[in-house]
Structure formats: C-alpha cells, structure tokens
Chains A and B, each alone.
Chain A
C-alpha cells in the first residue's frame, strides 16, 4: 500500500497539519489574552504594593518628625540614604522645608516642582534620567516629605513574571501540539484506511473492504463504505448471472435461426427450381451473422465489465508482445491504406488476460487505421515512466467532435462525422470494459490533428 510509502509527504498535504496549525493559533491567542490579563493585574498589584510601601515609609518618617523633630528626621533620612529594594533598585527620600529648601535626602533639589498633594506621582530625575514612582506629603506644621522608588523595581518584578509565565505556556503549547498531532494522525490513519480501500476497488479489487473500525463517525463511515461495496458486488454478481442467462436464452434461438437459414440455403442449392432464393438466403445469413456479432460484442462487454476485480485467469503479460502481435496483424491493412504504423515499445509487464488485452489494442489500432487519412502516421507508444505503464495510440484522423469524449465510451454511440465508416460503436466500449477489468485508466486526448488514446496501467509486481 502506498499509504505508508511517503508519510511525510502525505502529512504536509493532509488535514492533520492544518489541524495542528489551527490548534496552535487558537492556543496562542488564548494564551495571549490570559497573559495580557495576568500582566495588567500583576502590574497594578505590584504598583499598589510599591505605593503602600512608600506610604508606610512616609507615615514612619512623619512619626519620627513628630517625636524627635527635624533633627531626628534628618538623622533617619541620612542614615537610610542609598537604601535599595529587594532587586537592588534605589529607594530615595527627600526632606524639604515648607519654603522649598532641601533639608536632607537623596536629591539635590525638589524634582519637577511636585506639589505636596499626597497623590502618587511619576517623575524622571533630571540629573540621571531614572524614572521614579513616589508620593509627596506635607507634614502638618512641618516640612514636605518625598519618598520614591526606582520604577525599574516594578519592571524587574514584571520581567521575572514574564519568565515564570513564559515557560509553562511554552510547555503547554508543545504538549497541545504533540497531542493534536497524535490525534490527527490517528484520525488520518482511519480515513486513510477508507481511502486505501477505495483505491483498491478503483484498481479493480472489488473484494476490498475497510473492515470493522469502531462505532464513532469514522467507524460508521467505514461501515457505510463497506455496505456500499457489498451492494456493488451483489449488483455485479447479478449482472454476471443475468448476462449468462441472456447468453444462453438468446443465443440458442439465434443459433437455431442461423442453422435453419443454412439448411434452407443447402436445400435451395440442391433444388434447381429454388435457386432464385439463394441471394435472399445469403443476405439473411449475412444479416443474422451481423446480429449475432453485435449481440456477441454486447455480451463480451457486459461480461468483461462484470469480471472487473476478479483476479482469476489473470497472468503476467508483456504489453510489448501484445503490441507486436497487433502490429503484425494490422501492418498489411495499414500498408494497403498507405498508413504508416510507427511503433516504439519497451518491455512492460502487467497482470492481465492476454487475449482481452490484444483485443483491446486491436480495437484501438483498428479505429486508428479506419480514421487515418491516406499517408497518415499512427504512433503506438509503450513506455514505463514514474512507476506507471503508458500505452498510447495516436492517429492523424479527424479526432473527436467537441464534448464527445465521455459519450465515446457508451455503447452504440458514434460521432456523426464518422457515419461513413463502418462499425456499430462497440469498439471503444469494449476497450473501456477491458481497461476496467484490468484496473487500467483510459483517457482520450486531442492531438490536433487526430486523437490519442492513452491507457495507463500499473506494472506487475516483480
């Protein structure tokens, strides 16, 4: 089965990859939404914590002032200069008199003229460009106090958060992708079983079945396909049986008709008074022969079609030998009509029924000769390319009328343009039946001028 041959190539073309891609996209979108929510929440929380710390600090400093006056406050502030937060970021304090003169602290002067509102402010130190979050507070009857923390402290905590959040998200994503891939491949394998069965049936193995496959949607699909194939097989058996019956029931009266006509002719020959009836009897015999031939061809088509998928009676056949036989048969006819048969073959072994394959090619070459203009060339090419056998017969005749390709394989259908050429329109239907019986594909191609009939076959397994 070719399913296992190129799993990688199949995967890229398959729905599994699309599914994995979709899951990844949805997962990433969801993760992004969660991350943004977490980010803003945590960011606001940390900000609040920082502000709380600042306010606590301010309250503490205010108490120091109230209990020990300005000298105690200056002492505390000076002692705590250069103090940092847990990540090593600066925490600064500044004490300024109500008149606006610096009393003690980390800054040279009151930055940015911040008003002592008790609100949270953000500002940049004009000297070194560091951003701060801070609160300015006026101690009733005392100095103004500023406590500020370097904003990098907040950013550092957020960075840690990003690192701590990123890893689990990445791991979850990988797990989700692997799981999707696994599930996808399992589903694909089950669909592939149905596909493989369909391919086998198409190639002629009517006995191929998917087999039991569980009770979910895929299992039911498999069961439906199997039931359908069962039905087709039953219909084929019916056709086979019916055509046997028709063959027997109708051929026998036809045989009698023929026998009686032949006897009547013999009797007419022996009786001088009845000689005048001989031409009419000959005509009747010829007509009955024609009728029998059409009938036989129809039955051959029906039974060949019904035999599709039946491997009995099949053996390795070299198509090159079949081509040689048919060319040998038709060379004379072609030469008489000044038609050139150009043959290019290489050995190409298929599994088949040699007589049917010979008949198929004979029909194609017969058509090509019939429709070739005088001096025209017919190409019969047999080659194996890319693991596929290609047998092509190309003429330089009028080709098929526009849109006639599908109808050409129907019984008794003939293009109006070829009404003058004898035939019943059973040649191509038989060709198709033989192709079907061998699981071969047949195509009609415009060759301008002419028609090219291409038969594609699988080589016999060596």
Chain B
C-alpha cells in the first residue's frame, strides 16, 4: 500500500515539485495551499508524512504544527521554509516539527531527509546489525567488519558509516551528515566532510578493489550495497 503525504504549500510551483519528488518515491500526495485547511486535512485523515511551508495564508506553518501536536497527531512533519537560520530551525524543532529544511534545497537532500524521517518514525526498534553488502555494522557494540575482517574506526567515522549505511543505496547530502554526525546545522566553508569520508574510505576499502562510498554529484555520498 502506498504511503500518503500531505503537502501544505501556497507556492504552486514548489507544491507541484515536492509532490513530483514524493510521487517518485511511491507516495500518494495531497496538496493544500492554506495553513488552516492543512490543519483540518491533517487532523481528519491519516498521513504518513506532512511537508509544510512556514509563511502560509490562514495559519502559520509552525502554529499549525503546534496545534497538530496539541491534538495528539503524531505524523512526522517536515517544515520547508525560507527562514533558514539555525535559530529558526531550533525554533521549528522545539515547536513540534521533526525536521526543518531551508529553501531552496536540492532534490536529493529533500529525499534523503524524507527517508531519514520515515525511518525514525517507524515504530519497530532499530536494527542491532546493519548489513550492506559484505559490510557488517554492529550498532550497540560499535564494531564494523568487512568480509569478516574487523575495521577499526574512530567514533566519528563509525557514526559516518552508520549514517551512510542507514541510507544505503541512496544519496546522503553533506548537510545531513554534518547534522547527524557532528550535530551541526550549517555548512562549513571548507568541505571538512570530504576529508572525513576519504579517511573512512581508506579504512573500509583497505584490501579491497574500488570503493563502497561513492561521491554523488559533488554534494554528498552514497554507500552502495551492490559491491561484490
């Protein structure tokens, strides 16, 4: 059964774009252009995901999220807003949003965040072991083996690999890695993430041909499962 997403966005072009992106991931989408209307729709029907703008006619996006949480609706909400300062994001998250993405965003980033959001929202416990090809990640023990051989990683490298593994086969933008691994909500000028990824590559690929971590279009990384 396809998942259902509610898109609350008053800009028709952006609404259609987001709807198109979600449709490419097998979502059924419903678009409304008004905050109050969005609140009514979200409260009336079950959705798996809500994507909302902030500056909306009818009801401000974050007010809408707050009302929704007061009503006990737990649906994961991603706020997509032009107000993209770190303080705005913190504000958005404290008022009940599950993720906060600044406009403009890249398609890959949006999809990676939707994926992460749904994964977190799933009720079943997170897996103890993540398997990606011949890579075995034991989350609790914080150990990594590849082809049966132990790979010694620093704590940050482990977090990096884990985050990539949770999105295996999908593009993970740098900003998401920065947020997950370093808890940073801004993009440093120098691509510090690249250096950390290249170190991780050096360790995980040691003794193997090619690399399991590919650069994806200059803006992020992908851990591919289909390596031999």
Contacts and interface: CB of A to CB of B under 8 A. Distances in A.
Contacts of B106: 258, 262, 285, 289
Interface of A: 244, 247-248, 251-252, 254-260, 262-263, 266, 282, 285-286, 288-289, 292-293, 296, 299-300, 303-304, 307, 313, 325, 328-330, 332-333, 336, 353, 355-356, 358-359, 362-363, 366, 369-370, 423, 427
B24 to A, nearest CB: 8
A256 B11 contact: yes
A328 B157 CA distance: 11
Given A260-B13, A299-B85, A330-B190, 11 more contacts: A252-B11, A256-B13, A259-B17, A285-B106, A289-B106, A293-B187, A300-B85, A313-B90, A355-B184, A356-B86, A362-B184
Interface in B118-164: 156
A414 B199 CA distance: 32
A304 B85 CA distance: 8
A328 B219 CA distance: 21
A252 B218 contact: no
Interface of B: 11, 13-14, 17, 20, 55, 82-87, 90-91, 102-107, 156, 182-190, 192, 195-196, 199, 217-219
Given A289-B219, A313-B87, A332-B192, A262 B187 contact: no
B185 A355 contact: yes
Contacts of A358: 184, 186
A252 B107 contact: no
Contact of A359 (B186, B199, B217, B218): B186
A252 B192 contact: no
Given A292-B104, A370-B190, A248 B195 contact: no
B17 A366 contact: no
Contact of B195 (A254, A336, A362): A336
A256 B14 contact: yes
Contacts of A330: 188, 190, 192
B214 to A, nearest CB: 16
A292 B195 CA distance: 24
B104 A257 contact: yes
Contacts of A303: 85
B189 A333 contact: no
B177 to A, nearest CB: 11
Contact of B107 (A248, A262, A329, A332): A262
Contacts of A336: 195
